[in-house]
């Protein structure tokens, strides 16, 4: 019996609850800060990355099991693709969250699973199964349903609604599409980046966060965010800027905790359990968005979220049936030589964190 099967149900429930709580706090605090300070999305993201790096150093001081890599130019060059893809995806993810409602955020990024399946298939040179294509088609339909005009019996009789509650702009949907695409590319690149980090997810997390912050700094300076912040002066930081400062600290800490929760989730839960917890989190995120931010939950949006969740859960079920355990006589190759399988790349698509935590790489070690 595997160690995963021996885990006590209460421990699984605790880890799932921890992961869901950290993920929800990240989304809603991010949204609150971006609502209050919409002119500083890149500065906000860079603060989160720097806090994550600082916490990794603190964790390394507290525990000798965590090793911070040394600066190595050759390693940095080899990791440049995965770091660049990561920061581009995070920027578009942040811009998408800024411009859409919290309850609509998951719809805006609804093509994440279909794009990951497509990128994985192109990379592996092998077409996915008919059932996988069916699940991706269902998710795509759910996305299109969510971005289409709302169903109303008499639109002229409906009361006027704020601009934010209307149909999201094409630009915000474009941000969500690019965010989903770069997450899919990241799932492919991450498998080939681990050997350059001694197959350590912690070292890769450090390189990803530190490198992303360095790459983001010129855009913060040249894009005018830093100068605009200086023009506002200290009065802004003591007033409206307090939300920005505290939000940066909270999301930086919870981004680190989300990394820890993700690693724990990998070790004690199955992909199906993780996907069901993500589905439950999506429902809670929608309800909390309506409650906290007065988001508008239209018929289209509710149906879209439902279809996306059902398609994603069906995909996870199909992959769990297709990806049976390898034969006992088959010995896996060393991590540095092992080729990324489509199953590995696709099953990790629901990870939403500032850290690069390759779920299937950790599972292959268990």
- 35's enclosing H/E stretch is helix 9-36
Tokens 């995965």 identify what position? 82
pLDDT at 175: 95
- At 112, the pLDDT band (50, 70, 90 cuts) reads confident
Total domains present in the chain = 1
User: Taking the model in full, what pTM does it have?
Assistant: 0.78
**What's the average model confidence in pLDDT over 349-356?**
39
**What's the average model confidence in pLDDT over 180-194?**
86
Rounded to whole angstroms, the Cα distance separating 344 from 354 reads 20
- At 82, the pLDDT band (50, 70, 90 cuts) reads very high
Higher model confidence: residue 343 or residue 321? 321
The rounded radius of gyration (Å) of the Cα atoms in the chain is 21
**Residue 363 pLDDT exceeds 70:** no
**Residue 31 pLDDT exceeds 50:** yes
**What's the average model confidence in pLDDT over 204-211?**
91
**Residue 277 counted as domain residue:** yes
**Residue 330 counted as domain residue:** no
**Residue 2 counted as domain residue:** no
- At 210, the pLDDT band (50, 70, 90 cuts) reads very high
Other residues' Cβ atoms within 10 Å of the Cβ of residue 293: 17
**Residue 4 counted as domain residue:** no
**Residue 156 pLDDT exceeds 60:** no
Tokens 């709580």 identify what position? 21
pLDDT at 271: 59
Rounded to whole angstroms, the Cα distance separating 241 from 250 reads 14
Mark residue 287 as left, alpha or beta (left: phi above 0; alpha: psi -120 to 50; beta: remaining): alpha
**Residue 307 counted as domain residue:** yes
**What's the average model confidence in pLDDT over 118-144?**
91
Q: What is the pLDDT of residues 284-328, one digit of tens each?
A: 888 888 888 888 888 888 899 899 889 888 888 888 787 655 554
pLDDT at 163: 42
**Residue 121 counted as domain residue:** yes
**What's the average model confidence in pLDDT over 72-100?**
93
- Domain residues for the domain of 259 are 9-152+167-321+335-363
Q: What is the pLDDT of residues 271-293, one digit of tens each?
A: 556 666 766 777 788 888 888 88
pLDDT at 266: 59
Other residues' Cβ atoms within 10 Å of the Cβ of residue 28: 17
- At 167, the pLDDT band (50, 70, 90 cuts) reads low
pLDDT at 88: 95
**Residue 286 counted as domain residue:** yes
**Residue 188 pLDDT exceeds 70:** yes
Closest CA to 203 of 76, 74, 13: 76
Other residues' Cβ atoms within 10 Å of the Cβ of residue 332: 10
**Residue 1 counted as domain residue:** no
- At 1, the pLDDT band (50, 70, 90 cuts) reads very low
* Axis crossing angle, helix 299-322 with helix 130-147, rounded to the nearest 10: 160
- At 47, the pLDDT band (50, 70, 90 cuts) reads very high
Higher model confidence: residue 78 or residue 14? 78
Closest CA to 244 of 21, 24, 39: 39
Other residues' Cβ atoms within 10 Å of the Cβ of residue 317: 15
């Amino acid at each position: 019996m595997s160690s995963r099967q021996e885990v006590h149900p209460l421990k699984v429930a605790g880890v799932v609850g921890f992961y869901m709580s950290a993920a929800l706090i990240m989304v809603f605090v991010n949204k609150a800060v971006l609502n209050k300070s919409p002119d500083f999305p890149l500065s906000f993201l860079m603060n989160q990355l720097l806090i994550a790096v600082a916490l990794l150093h603190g964790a390394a001081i507290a525990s000798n099991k965590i090793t911070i890599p040394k600066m190595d130019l050759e390693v940095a060059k080899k990791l440049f693709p995965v770091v660049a893809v990561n920061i581009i995806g995070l920027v578009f993810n942040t811009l998408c969250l800024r411009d859409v409602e919290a309850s609509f955020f998951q719809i805006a990024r609804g093509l994440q699973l279909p794009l990951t399946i497509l990128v994985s298939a192109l990379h592996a040179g092998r077409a996915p199964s008919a059932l996988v294509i069916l699940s991706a088609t269902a998710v795509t339909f759910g996305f299109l349903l969510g971005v289409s005009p709302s169903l109303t019996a008499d639109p002229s009789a409906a009361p006027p609604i704020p601009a934010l509650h209307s149909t999201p702009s094409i630009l915000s949907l474009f941000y969500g599409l690019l965010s989903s695409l770069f997450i899919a590319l990241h799932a492919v690149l991450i498998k080939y980046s681990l050997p350059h980090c001694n197959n350590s997810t912690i070292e890769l997390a450090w390189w990803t966060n530190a490198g992303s912050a360095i790459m983001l700094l010129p855009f913060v300076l040249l894009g005018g965010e830093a100068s605009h912040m200086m023009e506002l002066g200290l009065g802004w930081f003591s007033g409206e800027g307090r939300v920005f400062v505290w939000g940066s600290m909270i999301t930086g800490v919870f981004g680190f905790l989300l990394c820890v929760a993700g690693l724990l989730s990998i070790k004690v839960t199955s992909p199906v359990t993780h996907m069901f917890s993500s589905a439950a989190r999506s429902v809670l995120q929608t309800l909390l968005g309506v409650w906290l931010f007065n988001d508008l939950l239209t018929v289209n949006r509710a149906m879209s979220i439902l279809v996306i969740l059902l398609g994603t859960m069906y995909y996870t079920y199909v992959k769990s049936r297709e990806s049976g355990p390898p034969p006992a006589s088959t010995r896996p190759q060393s991590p540095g030589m092992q080729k990324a399988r489509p199953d590995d790349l696709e099953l990790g698509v629901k990870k939403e964190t500032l850290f690069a935590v390759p779920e299937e790489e950790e599972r292959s070690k268990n």
